C-alpha cells in the first residue's frame, strides 16, 4: 500500500513520462508510477537499505546524495524531478531545488510545514521544539536540519524564478485537508506538496 501523500504526488504526474525521484526510500512511489502510469522512472537514495529494496522491486535506483550528486545530471533530462519529504534534510536546500529545476521540466516537492498551528503552539506554549506526527524527532536527533514554512518555500521558489503551479495542502496522514482550510496552508496544513516549473 502506498502512502497517501505519495498518491497526491502521483496525481500530479502525466502518464508515460520520465521521472527522477530523489530520496526515493524503498521505491514505493516509483513502483506505483511504473505500474499505474507507465513512467520511465529512475531514483536516487542515500541509504543502502533503500537502494536494496528498490532493486528488489526491479527499479532503476542508484545510491547517491541530493546535496552532491544532482550536479552530474544533464539539464532537461527528466519530465519530473521529485523530492518527497527530503528537502528539509538536505544541507543546501536552495542548491538542491535549483538543480531539480534544471534537471526536470517540472518539479514536485513535499515537506512538513513548520508554520502549522500545532508547531507554533508547541513553541509558544511549551517553549520547546515541537514533536508532531510530521516532525516526530527530538531536536537533537532529527534529520530535519532546514525546516521551513509554506511561506518560506514560496519565497525560495520566487527567488529561483519558479512558479508554483499547484499547492496541495495535506493532513498528517497525507490526505488533502478540507477546501476551506486549504486556503490558509501556512497555518492549517501539516504538510504540503508543490508542483513547480521554471518561469
Q: How many CB atoms lie within 10 A of CB 46?
A: 19
Helices (H) and strands (E) in the chain, counts: 9, 7
Q: What average pLDDT score do residues 75-84 get? A: 98
- Indicate the pLDDT class of residue 106, thresholds 50, 70 and 90: very high
**Global confidence as pTM:** 0.94
| pLDDT value, residue 64 | 96
Res 114: pLDDT: 95
Residue 26: its pLDDT value, please? 94
Domain ranges of the chain: 4-114+145-198
Q: How confident is the model at residue 145 (pLDDT cuts 50, 70, 90)?
A: confident
Answer whether residue 133 shows pLDDT above 90: no
What would the CATH number be for the domain defined by 4-114+145-198?
A: 3.40.50.150
Three cell numbers written together for 56? 528488489
157: number of Cβ within 10 Å: 20
Do 34 and 64 contact (CB within 8 A), yes or no?
no
Residues 6+ apart with CB under 8 A from 172: 132, 133, 134, 190, 191
Amino acid at each position: 500500500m502506498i502512502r497517501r501523500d505519495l498518491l497526491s504526488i502521483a496525481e500530479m504526474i502525466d502518464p508515460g513520462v520520465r521521472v527522477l525521484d530523489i530520496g526515493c526510500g524503498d521505491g514505493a512511489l516509483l513502483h506505483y508510477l511504473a505500474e499505474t502510469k507507465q513512467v520511465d522512472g529512475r531514483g536516487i537514495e542515500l541509504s543502502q537499505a533503500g537502494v536494496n529494496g528498490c532493486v528488489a522491486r526491479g527499479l532503476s535506483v542508484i545510491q547517491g546524495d541530493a546535496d552532491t550528486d544532482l550536479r552530474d545530471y544533464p539539464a532537461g533530462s527528466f519530465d519530473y524531478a521529485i523530492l518527497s519529504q527530503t528537502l528539509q534534510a538536505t544541507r543546501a536546500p536552495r542548491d538542491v531545488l535549483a538543480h531539480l529545476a534544471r534537471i526536470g521540466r517540472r518539479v514536485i516537492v513535499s515537506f512538513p510545514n513548520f508554520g502549522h498551528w500545532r508547531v507554533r503552539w508547541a513553541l509558544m506554549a511549551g517553549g520547546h521544539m515541537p514533536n508532531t506526527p510530521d516532525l516526530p524527532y527530538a531536536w537533537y536527533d532529527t534529520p530535519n536540519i532546514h525546516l521551513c514554512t509554506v511561506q518560506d518555500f514560496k519565497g525560495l521558489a520566487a527567488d529561483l524564478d519558479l512558479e508554483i503551479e499547484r499547492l496541495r495542502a495535506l493532513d498528517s496522514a497525507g490526505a488533502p485537508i478540507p477546501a476551506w482550510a486549504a486556503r490558509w496552508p501556512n497555518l492549517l496544513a501539516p504538510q504540503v506538496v508543490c508542483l513547480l516549473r521554471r518561469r
